[in-house]
Chains A and B, each alone.
Chain A
């Protein structure tokens, strides 16, 4: 396994654990209930005695802890209960693994897990913004998707990329629930997929990707809502037609193809103007494209983002 990040670069988990818990326990004791609530949205949760060496994202926000990232997961293939995914996913077999890449490409091929890990792995600290209104900062390892796509040589007719999660109901209890049209499908426009920010993640915090976070390989598209970042990918297909994601199939008026983080465009039923960073008490304003506007806004120039939500 490639591990490019020296362990010294990774924040000791103890620095992050239970900060939010302490805050909430204090806030709940009846006498301080309201006093604790006047806090401004952007103020740090506890007094800011953070060591200077603590790794941060480029907006100077600290990382979420390994414990937070691996115990609060939206992964409906296991369960809709975010806190239960980690427990249910322990017996998921993420090795051996095959990722089939095909469709409108000159050189379709099957990548074994070892082939994926043979791409130069790099660390990317990304914000993840869930459509439910919470966010985390996560240190991923992985490789840009464009490296893989270049190897299979997309044909000129290819315009979209369709991703598919493994269907293995015997190991994924949520997939036995036929209410959802499994397997999970997501899609990107080819230029989005080729963007350097678009990552195929194989690990986090210097460790192999845990099953609850989408092991062994998942997509991470940091400027889109979290559900676009499909987990446990087994198939990538380049297409001419726009793919229909699972959420688009289930609720077309609520989940568009693009799903770019956008505080100006409310979800049909709830506003996306603010979010809570996991570990903090207050709310912070949501940034256009989740703070990556400088890198990606030009992908959508001339497009009406209210229509293309």
Chain B
């Protein structure tokens, strides 16, 4: 019989490997010139997709842990969230640096004219302080403010999904992803209630 801590260790290893694999693949494809004939779009789409998947997985940990009784899953939130932020940052770097060539005018025009760009930027700005305060030390220093601050992950996820919905020509997959997020949010409600009651 394996203990919960063994499960956690195994799951953590799986997450590190699973989350780094798409990055490795991106690097290999970039160096070998296998990024499609529209390489910048390919980089943008792939980093964005992985970021969104990891973010939704991160948000699934707590509800899934509660549902299954595998409470150790809660500990997976942080690495998944941080990996998501890594891909979000790459996504933004590709957009600003490669796609728009650091051209401030073109970028500000894009933010003003494309609402999906604005939503993506909002999502990044909401995630930034969460990544910056992900350490144990920061958690201790912030005390009960830490939890309140990290509640921002929900608006960040909503902004990320709006970003995805607004850039898609066909809404089906974004709507499925939004339904998943909604389900996760609904699952949080009873948990939140319990927590409030306990206080």
Determine if A103 is an interface residue (Cβ-Cβ < 8 Å). Answer: no
Mark contacts of B89-112 with chain A using CB atoms, 8 A cut-off: 1 yes-contact digit, 0 otherwise.
000010001111111001001100
CA distance A82 to B97 in the complex (A): 24
Mark contacts of B29-53 with chain A using CB atoms, 8 A cut-off: 1 yes-contact digit, 0 otherwise.
0111111111111010000000000
Determine if B170 is an interface residue (Cβ-Cβ < 8 Å). Answer: yes
In the complex, chain A residues whose CB is within 8 Å of the CB of B38: 20, 72, 82, 134, 276, 278
Contact B98 A281 (CB under 8 A): yes
In the complex, chain B residues whose CB is within 8 Å of the CB of A131: 169
CA distance A136 to B196 in the complex (A): 58
Contact A72 B116 (CB under 8 A): no
In the complex, chain A residues whose CB is within 8 Å of the CB of B30: 24-25, 28
Contact A21 B39 (CB under 8 A): yes
In the complex, chain A residues whose CB is within 8 Å of the CB of B169: 131-132
Contact B37 A24 (CB under 8 A): no
Mark contacts of A195-213 with chain B using CB atoms, 8 A cut-off: 1 yes-contact digit, 0 otherwise.
0000000000000000000
Contact A273 B170 (CB under 8 A): no
Contact A278 B37 (CB under 8 A): yes
Contact of B35 among A24, A33, A68 (CB under 8 A): A24
Q: Which of A249-298 contact B (CB under 8 A)?
A: 250, 266, 269-271, 273-274, 276, 278-279, 281-283
Contact of A269 among B37, B109, B114 (CB under 8 A): B114
Determine if B166 is an interface residue (Cβ-Cβ < 8 Å). Answer: yes
Contact A22 B33 (CB under 8 A): yes
Contact B114 A271 (CB under 8 A): yes
Expressed in whole angstroms, the minimum distance between the Cβ of B114 and any Cβ of chain A is 4
Mark contacts of A18-56 with chain B using CB atoms, 8 A cut-off: 1 yes-contact digit, 0 otherwise.
101110110110000110111111000000000000000
Q: Which residues of B contact A (CB under 8 A)?
A: 27, 30-41, 43, 93, 97-103, 106, 109-110, 113-116, 166-167, 169-170, 172
Q: Which residues of A contact B (CB under 8 A)?
A: 18, 20-22, 24-25, 27-28, 33-34, 36-41, 64, 67-68, 71-72, 80, 82-83, 131-132, 134, 179, 250, 266, 269-271, 273-274, 276, 278-279, 281-283
- 25 A-B residue pairs with CB within 8 Å: A18-B33, A20-B37, A20-B39, A21-B39, A34-B102, A37-B98, A41-B101, A64-B37, A68-B37, A72-B36, A80-B170, A134-B38, A134-B41, A250-B170, A269-B115, A269-B166, A270-B167, A271-B109, A276-B40, A276-B41, A279-B37, A281-B98, A281-B101, A283-B100, A283-B106
